[in-house]
Structure 1
Amino acid sequence: MPQNTQPSFAEVIRDTDRSAVHLEMRDAYGDNERFAAWRHGARINWDDRATWWRGFHDQIAEAAARGVSIRRARIVSEPVSEYIRWEHYVTRANVSAGEQVRWLPRRLASDLALPGNDYWLFDDRLARIHHFAGDGSLVADEFSTEPAVLKLFAASFEAVWERGIPHEEYTV
């Protein structure tokens, strides 16, 4: 699919009927302003939703309100990286929007068949595959409807989810 014809996340999640799952397997995803601020001591005022709620959260909340199950699983090295400590901290926003999140220590994933890239899988019919540079910055997204890819992604996500520790129980 040519780059300029790829649907946005908002379009894909709007067309999702049953489930959206996201598998993340990196220990860092590049620098960003919010991470930099956190590293310098800034903390979120969770009582002031307007300061942390973003368009992404609206999209997740709208899908969840329609009955879409939204699950995110993260495979992480331990001890966790500074980036993962921050990501764990800000995951409260994802959960508030309607996501279920689990964490799996990498040492518990050694016997799992996992794809080489992070991805979203929508209704087991469309995969959005993320390609990252070595520094963690996003290079490109690729979409796939290839049955073998969808099958691998569905199976790998469920295997990680089954072993994962719910966000509220996982400490960093």
Structure 2
Amino acid sequence: MQSNVPPQAFADLLSGATRTALHLEMRDVYAVDYESGPFADWRQGFRHNPADRDSWWRPWLDLVEETVARGVTVRRARIVSEPVSEYTRFLYDGTFTNVAAGEQVRWLPRRQASDIALPGNDFWLFDEQVVRWNHFSGEGASQGGAVTKDPAAAKLCSDAFEAVWERAVPHDQYEIH
């Protein structure tokens, strides 16, 4: 059974994880504001200073750090087209913040994922049992999400994530193309 979940409930799902939280991202662009905000700032040359943690630490990173401190493994895999999109470059430049919070992050060039059975949407998988689907418009705007505890969906997501993870390159070794 699937249920729609308000965005604030995501923190509850992550806080409830006891072993693993896996995130698979498969889009080259997510909704961005080209006029203002972090992506616009990045496009104009702004880069976070890794030594100035106070300037880039966010509530999201607190949640990840707390989750990892509880013994939960948090892994994120990104399937990306190469050459990468401008938005993927933006994500890449800021990923050191995720790693600093304790996430393990890997990148997989899309052409190396051709023979992997992948779900139709990005997802989070908690403790190999609860799937939180992320729904997006064609332009990348969030359309909310849905949660399922369907064992077949959880297995599909687990198998897909592990296949991607096995082939993907750790963040500190991935070179933008």
TM-score range, shorter chain: over 0.9
With over 3 angstroms needed to count, the CA separation of the structure-2 counterparts of 1:149 and 1:39, relative to structure 1, is same
Match of 1:152 in 2: 156
Q: In terms of mean alpha carbon deviation, does 27-36 or 99-108 score higher?
A: 27-36
Unaligned 5+ segments in structure 2 are none
Matched, 1:11 2:12: yes
The runs of at least 4 consecutive aligned structure 1 residues that moved more than 6 Å come to none
Matched, 1:86 2:87: no
Unaligned 5+ segments in structure 1 are none
Residues 4 and 146 in structure 2, CA contact (< 8 A), matched pair in contact too: no
User: What SS does structure 1 have at the residue aligned with 2:78?
Assistant: strand
User: What SS does structure 1 have at the residue aligned with 2:24?
Assistant: strand
Task: Return the letter of the residue paired with 2:93.
Answer: Y
Task: Return the letter of the residue paired with 2:21.
Answer: A
Matched, 1:119 2:120: no
Shift of 1:143: 0.5
* TM-score of the two chains, using structure 1 as the length reference: 0.96
In 2: Cα distance, 1:75 partner to 1:3 partner: 25
In 2: Cα distance, 1:84 partner to 1:154 partner: 24
- Aligned counterpart for 1:72 among listed residues 76, 90, 95: 76
Task: Return the letter of the residue paired with 2:90.
Answer: W
Matched, 1:129 2:157: no
Q: In terms of mean alpha carbon deviation, does 37-46 or 109-118 score higher?
A: 37-46
Question: Over aligned residue pairs, what C-alpha RMSD do you find?
Answer: 1.2
Match of 1:29 in 2: 30
Shift of 1:109: 0.4
In 1: Cα distance, 2:147 partner to 2:53 partner: 33
In 2: Cα distance, 1:50 partner to 1:9 partner: 24
Shift of 1:147: 0.9
* TM-score of the two chains, using structure 2 as the length reference: 0.93
In 2: Cα distance, 1:57 partner to 1:106 partner: 27
Task: Return the letter of the residue paired with 1:84.
Answer: T
